[in-house]
């Protein structure tokens, strides 16, 4: 069982007289991907900034890799990569020059790493173009490569898919998953789009108005909230039975059967287990 690389207890943050983060507690396992989800203004960025020691909590306790960001933020930042809304790349330098410059700063002496990352994020062919000529999505890909140069233990990503097209979103998220498995990096991703992160996170934290409303793996959350799943299937077959392959159903109208399922996992096996006749969907 992996250890808790991040532990947060009773975290509160007030800014300009407003409570932005309210009594938030959670922990994150090393090598996992955690989705920090919530609408705009819910406090996700503030939590990332608190974890990386950029701002101080009003109260509560944070431990990141065993360090308190308040007193040992430098140690955390040295071992983590961060991608925020702003790119923090030099606009007049090429993608390659940027990565070489930051490699030097981070003490990374192997240019192979930069090459691998640019290839992984689909930016190798643009390596000699200046950042100022790039779209938002292209800048985001280079920023991701930059954040991963020194093989961080933790990667903080604030809306990393903003500005990316659907293909780019796929590429970035798939690569993060591979990276987690290969290098054991712990990833925290802020997003307001649950669908994008579904399937790639081990844990989800739902934030609203600075309050942690819900947290856990998708299975745990579904178990708590998803009680009845109804699937209506159009089929040419009508019959007298009320159970198919162990799944009870009703005929709700001509050509349509309604199944009541206990788990989302049953949705895909259900049509696959149907004989061809029942899978026939009339026009």
Ligand X SMILES: Nc1ncnc2c1ncn2[C@@H]1O[C@H](COP(=O)(O)OP(=O)(O)OP(=O)(O)O)[C@@H](O)[C@H]1O
Residues near ligand X (CB under 6 A): 15-16, 18, 20, 38, 40-46, 192
* Closest C-alpha among 189, 191, 162 to residue 176: 189
The rounded distance, in Å, linking the Cα atoms of 72 and 249 is: 59
Q: Give the 3-state secondary structure of residue 189.
A: strand
* Token code pair at residue 112: 């192979």
- Least separation in angstroms between residue 44's CB and ligand X is 4
* Beta carbon nearer to ligand X, 177 or 192: 192
* Beta carbon nearer to ligand X, 51 or 95: 51
Residues near 255 by beta carbon (within 8 Å), at least 6 away in sequence: 234, 235, 236, 238, 282
- Least separation in angstroms between residue 280's CB and ligand X is 46
Q: What are the φ and ψ backbone dihedral angles of 184, each rounded to 5 degrees?
A: 70, 20
Residues near 65 by beta carbon (within 8 Å), at least 6 away in sequence: 5, 75, 76, 79, 153, 154
* Beta carbon nearer to ligand X, 50 or 172: 50
The rounded distance, in Å, linking the Cα atoms of 4 and 10 is: 16
- Least separation in angstroms between residue 9's CB and ligand X is 19
Q: Which residue has the tokens 């100022």?
A: 132
- Least separation in angstroms between residue 50's CB and ligand X is 9
* Beta carbon nearer to ligand X, 16 or 230: 16
* Beta carbon nearer to ligand X, 46 or 98: 46
Residue 80's alpha-carbon distances to 117, 168, 269, 272, in angstroms, are 16, 23, 41, 44
* Beta carbon nearer to ligand X, 87 or 103: 87
Beta strand ranges found along 84-208 (DSSP E): 154-158, 186-191, 203-208
The rounded distance, in Å, linking the Cα atoms of 152 and 64 is: 13
* Beta carbon nearer to ligand X, 20 or 233: 20
- Least separation in angstroms between residue 15's CB and ligand X is 4
- Least separation in angstroms between residue 179's CB and ligand X is 23
64 bridge partner residues:
6, 67
- Least separation in angstroms between residue 42's CB and ligand X is 4
- Least separation in angstroms between residue 43's CB and ligand X is 4
18 bridge partner residues:
15
* Beta carbon nearer to ligand X, 54 or 226: 54
* Token code pair at residue 60: 């509560």
């Amino acid at each position: 069982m992996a250890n808790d690389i991040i532990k947060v207890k009773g975290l509160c943050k007030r800014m300009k007289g407003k409570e932005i983060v309210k009594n938030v507690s959670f922990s994150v396992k090393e090598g996992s991907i955690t989705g920090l989800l919530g609408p705009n203004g819910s406090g996700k960025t503030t939590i990332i900034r608190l974890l990386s020691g950029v701002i101080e909590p009003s109260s509560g306790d944070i431990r990141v890799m065993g360090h308190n960001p308040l007193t040992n933020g430098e140690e955390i930042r040295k071992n983590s990569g961060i991608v925020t809304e702003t790119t923090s790349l030099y606009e007049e330098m090429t993608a390659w020059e940027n990565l070489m410059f930051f490699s030097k700063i981070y003490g990374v002496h192997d240019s192979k790493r930069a090459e691998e990352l640019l290839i992984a994020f689909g930016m190798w062919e643009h390596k000699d173009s200046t950042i100022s000529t790039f779209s938002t999505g292209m800048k985001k890909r280079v920023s991701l490569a930059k954040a991963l140069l020194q093989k961080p233990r933790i990667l903080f990503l604030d809306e990393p898919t903003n500005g990316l097209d659907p293909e780019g979103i796929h590429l970035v998220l798939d690569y993060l998953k591979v990276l987690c498995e290969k290098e054991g990096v712990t990833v925290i991703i802020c997003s307001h789009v649950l669908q994008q992160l579904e399937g790639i996170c081990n844990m989800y934290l739902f934030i609203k108005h600075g309050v942690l409303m819900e947290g856990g793996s998708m299975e745990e959350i579904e178990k708590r909230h998803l009680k009845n799943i109804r699937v209506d299937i159009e089929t040419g077959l009508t019959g007298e039975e009320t159970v198919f392959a162990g799944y009870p159903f009703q005929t709700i109208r001509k050509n349509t059967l309604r199944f009541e399922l206990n788990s989302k996992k049953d949705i895909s096996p259900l049509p696959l287990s149907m004989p061809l006749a029942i899978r026939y969907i009339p026009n």
